[in-house]
C-alpha cells in the first residue's frame, strides 16, 4: 500500500477494482438505510404508529446486519480504504460496525481520519478524562476539562490526564508549552531514560504505580512532568493512589502548595498503598499457613494453597519492584536540587518508609518459601500414602496370582481328574480368597507391631 498526500490508495492485492466494488456496495447500503429513515420519519410524525416505527427499525437493522457481514469479510486494508473514502457521517456509521477489534485498521488509517474517529465520534475511550486542579484557599479545586476553552482563566498546579488521545495531548501541550508523551509507549523506555531534565528545563519522571484489585495485581506506568511548579501526570487508567491524593488535597487546607508537593504526596501515597497491599498479603498467608500446618492436607487443598501462594508471591514481587522504582525517582529528585528544604525533609521521610517496606518484603519471601516447602511435603506425603496402598495390594494379590496361574495349567486338570470341575474351581476360588485374607491380616499385624515399636522408641528418646 502506498500513501500519497495523506490519502490511502486501494490495496495492491485488489488491483481489479474489487476495493471500489466493495466501496460502492457499502455506499449503496448506507444510502438505503438513509432512504428508509427519510421515508419512515414523516409517516411517524403523521400517524404516530408504534408498528410502523418497529417496521422501520427492523428494515434498518437488516441493512446494518448486511453491512456488518460485508465488512467482517474484508481485510483491514480494504476497510481502512473504505473509511477514508466515505464522508464524515457515513464514516461514523461504518466505524460503529468495525470498531470492535479495530487495532489493525487504526494502524493503517491516516492521522486526520484517526483523530476524527477517536476524538469526535462515540468511539472515544470511556476512560479518557482530563482534569485540572487549581489552588483555592489552600485546597485543590477540581476542574473537568473537555476542550481548550475550559482552560481559559485557569492557573492549575496539577493537570491529570487519563488515556489522552493525540489531539488532547496536542492542545494541552500547546496551552502550557510542554511536550506530553503517549501513555501507551511508556513501557518501551529503558530504565536509564525514566528520569531526566530536558533542554527546556522540564523535569520528566516515568514511574510505576501499583494497582492491586481482587482480579489482578500489576504495575501501571505513569509519566510525570514538572514545568514551573506545575505537575502533569499522564497514564492509561485510573489508579487508587491518584484518587486518594485528590481526596486529601480537596479536603485538607494547606496540604499542597505547588506541583512539587503534589508529586511528593503521590509518591508518599504510593508507598502507603504498597504497605496496605503487603498487609493484605500477610492476612492471606496467615490463612494459608493455618491450612498448611494442619495434620492432613488433601491434594485438592494443596492445589488451592499453591495458587494462593503464587498470587501472594506475585503481589509481593510487584510491590517490591514498585517501591524500588519510587526510591529511584525520589533519589533523582533529592539529588537534582529541585526541592525546597521542607520538601527535602518530606522526601527523606518517604525514603525511610520505603526502607521499612524492604524488610517486610524480604520476610514475606522467606515465609512464602516455607509455605511452599510445607505444601510440597504434604503433597509428597499423600503420594507416599498412595504408593503404600498400591504396594499392599500388590503384596496381597501376588500369591493369589500365582494360585490363579496354577489353576490355568493343564497339570491342575490332571490333579483334579475325577472331581467335577464346578467343585474343583470353587475350591480353587476359596483357596485364593483365603490366601488373600491371610496376607491382609498378616500385613495389618505387621503394621501394628511396627507402630508400637516406633512409639516405644520415641518414648525412650523423650
Q: Check residue 4 and give its pLDDT.
A: 43
Q: For residues 39 and 50, is the Cβ–Cβ distance under 8 A?
A: no
Residue 85 has pLDDT above 70, yes or no: yes
Q: Which pLDDT band holds residue 116 (cuts at 50, 70, 90)? A: low
pLDDT band at 413 (very low <50, low <70, confident <90, very high): low
Whole-number Å distance between alpha carbons of 439 and 402: 14
Q: Which residue has the cell 496376607?
A: 439
Encode burial over 271-295: b for 16+ CB neighbours within 10 A, e otherwise: bebbbebbeebeeebeebeebbeee
Q: Provide the 8-state DSSP code for 292.
A: H
Longest dimension (CA), the chain: 119
Query: Does position 403 have pLDDT exceeding 70, yes or no?
Result: yes
Q: What are phi and psi of 307, to 5 degrees?
A: -65, -45
The C-alpha cell at 127 is 476512560
- Contact call for residues 318 and 219 (beta carbons, < 8 A): yes
Burial class (CB in 10 A: 0-12, 13-18, 19+), 82: buried
* Contacts for 296 with CB less than 8 Å, ≥ 6 apart: none
Higher pLDDT, 187 or 65: 65
| pLDDT value of position 267 | 92
Q: Percentage of the chain with pLDDT > 70?
A: 81
* Predicted confidence (pLDDT) at residue 9 exceeds the cutoff of 70: no
**CB-based contact 388:305 (threshold 8 Å):** no
- When the pLDDT of each residue in the chain is averaged and rounded to a whole number, the result is 78
3-state secondary structure of 85: helix
What dihedral do alpha carbons 382, 385, 390, 391 form, nearest 10°? Answer: 140
pLDDT confidence of residue 410: 64
Cβ atoms within 10 Å, residue 113? 21
Mean pLDDT of 303-327: 86
- Rounded to an integer, what distance in angstroms lies between the CA atom of residue 259 and that of residue 456? 75
pLDDT band at 219 (very low <50, low <70, confident <90, very high): confident
Predicted local distance difference test score (pLDDT) of residue 121:
40
How would you classify residue 40: left for phi > 0, otherwise alpha for psi between -120 and 50, otherwise beta?
Answer: alpha
Q: What integer is the mean pLDDT of 66-87?
A: 82
Torsions phi, psi for 253 (to 5 deg):
-70, 140
Residue 216 vs residues 152, 182, 274: alpha-carbon distances, Å: 40, 24, 14
pLDDT tens figures, 259-289: 888 899 999 989 988 888 888 888 888 888 8
126: phi then psi, degrees, rounded to nearest 5: -65, -25
* pTM for the full predicted model: 0.62
Q: 55: pLDDT confidence band, cut at 50, 70 and 90?
A: low
In our burial notation (b when 16+ CB lie closer than 10 A, e otherwise), range 32-68 reads: bbeebeeebeeeeeeeeeeeeeeebeebbeebbeebe
**What's residue 427's pLDDT?**
80
Q: Report which DSSP code applies to 229.
A: T
C-alpha cell at 28: 449503496
pLDDT computed for residue 62 by the predictor: 77
Contact criterion met (CB below 8 Å) for 195 and 205: yes
How confident is the model over 238-247, as pLDDT tens digits?
A: 888 888 877 7
Strand partners, 108: none
Q: Is the pLDDT of residue 101 over 90?
A: no
| Rounded mean pLDDT, 387-395 | 79
Amino acid at each position: 500500500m502506498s500513501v500519497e498526500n495523506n490519502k490511502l490508495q486501494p490495496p495492491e492485492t485488489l488491483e481489479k477494482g474489487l476495493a471500489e466494488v466493495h466501496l460502492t456496495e457499502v455506499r449503496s447500503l448506507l444510502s438505503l438505510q438513509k432512504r428508509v429513515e427519510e421515508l419512515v420519519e414523516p409517516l411517524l410524525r403523521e400517524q404516530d404508529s408504534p408498528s410502523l416505527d418497529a417496521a422501520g427499525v427492523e428494515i434498518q437493522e437488516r441493512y446494518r446486519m448486511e453491512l456488518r457481514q460485508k465488512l467482517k469479510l474484508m481485510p483491514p486494508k480494504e476497510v481502512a480504504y473504505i473509511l477514508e473514502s466515505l464522508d464524515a457521517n457515513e464514516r461514523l456509521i461504518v466505524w460503529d460496525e468495525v470498531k470492535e477489534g479495530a487495532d489493525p485498521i487504526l494502524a493503517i488509517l491516516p492521522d486526520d481520519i484517526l483523530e476524527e474517529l477517536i476524538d469526535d465520534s462515540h468511539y472515544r475511550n470511556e476512560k479518557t478524562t482530563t482534569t485540572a486542579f487549581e489552588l483555592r484557599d489552600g485546597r485543590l479545586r477540581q476542574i473537568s476539562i473537555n476542550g481548550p476553552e475550559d482552560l481559559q482563566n485557569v492557573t492549575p498546579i496539577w493537570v491529570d490526564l487519563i488515556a489522552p488521545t493525540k489531539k488532547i495531548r496536542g492542545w494541552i501541550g500547546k496551552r502550557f508549552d510542554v511536550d506530553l508523551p503517549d501513555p501507551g509507549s511508556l513501557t518501551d523506555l529503558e530504565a536509564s531514560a525514566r528520569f531526566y531534565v530536558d533542554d527546556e528545563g522540564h523535569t520528566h519522571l516515568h514511574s510505576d504505580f501499583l494497582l492491586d484489585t481482587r482480579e489482578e495485581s500489576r504495575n501501571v506506568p505513569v509519566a510525570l512532568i514538572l514545568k514551573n511548579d506545575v505537575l502533569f501526570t499522564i497514564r492509561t487508567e485510573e489508579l487508587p493512589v491518584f484518587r486518594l491524593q485528590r481526596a486529601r488535597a480537596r479536603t485538607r487546607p494547606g496540604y499542597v502548595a505547588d506541583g512539587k508537593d503534589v508529586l511528593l504526596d503521590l509518591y508518599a501515597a504510593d508507598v502507603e498503598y504498597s504497605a496496605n497491599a503487603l498487609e493484605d498479603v500477610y492476612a492471606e498467608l496467615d490463612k494459608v499457613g493455618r491450612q498448611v500446618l494442619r495434620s492432613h492436607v488433601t491434594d485438592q487443598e494443596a492445589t488451592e494453597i499453591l495458587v494462593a501462594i503464587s498470587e501472594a508471591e506475585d503481589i509481593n514481587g510487584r510491590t517490591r519492584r514498585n517501591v524500588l522504582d519510587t526510591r529511584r525517582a525520589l533519589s533523582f529528585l533529592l539529588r537534582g536540587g529541585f526541592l525546597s528544604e521542607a520538601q527535602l525533609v518530606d522526601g527523606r521521610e518517604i525514603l525511610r518508609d520505603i526502607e521499612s517496606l524492604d524488610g517486610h518484603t524480604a520476610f514475606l519471601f522467606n515465609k512464602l518459601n516455607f509455605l511452599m516447602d510445607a505444601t510440597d511435603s504434604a503433597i509428597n506425603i499423600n503420594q507416599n500414602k498412595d504408593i503404600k496402598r498400591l504396594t499392599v495390594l500388590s503384596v496381597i494379590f501376588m500369591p493369589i496370582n500365582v494360585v490363579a496361574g496354577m489353576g490355568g495349567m493343564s497339570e491342575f486338570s490332571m490333579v483334579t481328574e475325577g472331581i467335577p470341575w464346578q467343585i474343583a474351581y470353587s475350591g480353587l476360588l476359596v483357596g485364593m480368597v483365603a490366601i488373600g485374607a491371610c496376607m491382609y491380616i498378616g500385613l495389618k499385624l505387621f503394621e501394628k507391631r511396627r507402630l508400637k515399636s516406633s512409639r516405644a522408641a520415641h518414648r525412650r528418646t523423650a
